[in-house]
Amino acid sequence: MAMAMRCAEALNEGIAELGIQLRSGIHTGECEAVGDDLGGLAVHIGARVGALAGPGEIVVSSTVKELVVGSDITSSITAMTCCGETNSGEMS
């Protein structure tokens, strides 16, 4: 998860010079293969987390926030509560 967060930060920085602002949402969980597509609760939560992100913003689910505790992620990535999750607040 920390790698996904670093990737989103790098993408934001890399495209800023083009005047483009990326909206990033990160969640993790089990997905269900449905034909050639993916589905399930994790996909649903991931879509909702991504929809909460504003231009240039990285939003993670509280699940991701808990998984990156102890990593060197110290940016102002926001952890949101959605879909029955229980914690929210800024990453620190």
Q: What share of the chain in percent tops pLDDT 90?
A: 45
pLDDT score recorded for residue 88: 44
pLDDT score recorded for residue 74: 54
pLDDT score recorded for residue 78: 62
Per DSSP, the residues of 35-88 read: TTEEESHHHHHHHHHHHH--TT-EEEEHHHHHHTTTSS--S-PEEE--TT----
Please state the rounded mean pLDDT for residues 10-21: 93
Output the pTM of the full model.
Answer: 0.75
Q: Please determine, for residue 30, whether its predicted confidence score (pLDDT) is greater than 90.
A: yes
Burial environment of residue 80 by CB neighbours within 10 A (0 to 12, 13 to 18, 19 or more): buried
Count of domains for the chain? 1
CATH of the domain at 63: 3.30.70.1230
Per-residue model confidence as pLDDT tens digits over 65-75: 888 877 777 55
Full residue range of the structural domain in which residue 40 is found? 2-90
Give backbone dihedrals phi and psi of 60, rounded to 5 degrees, phi first.
-120, 155
Per-residue model confidence as pLDDT tens digits over 32-72: 999 999 999 999 999 999 998 999 888 888 888 888 877 77
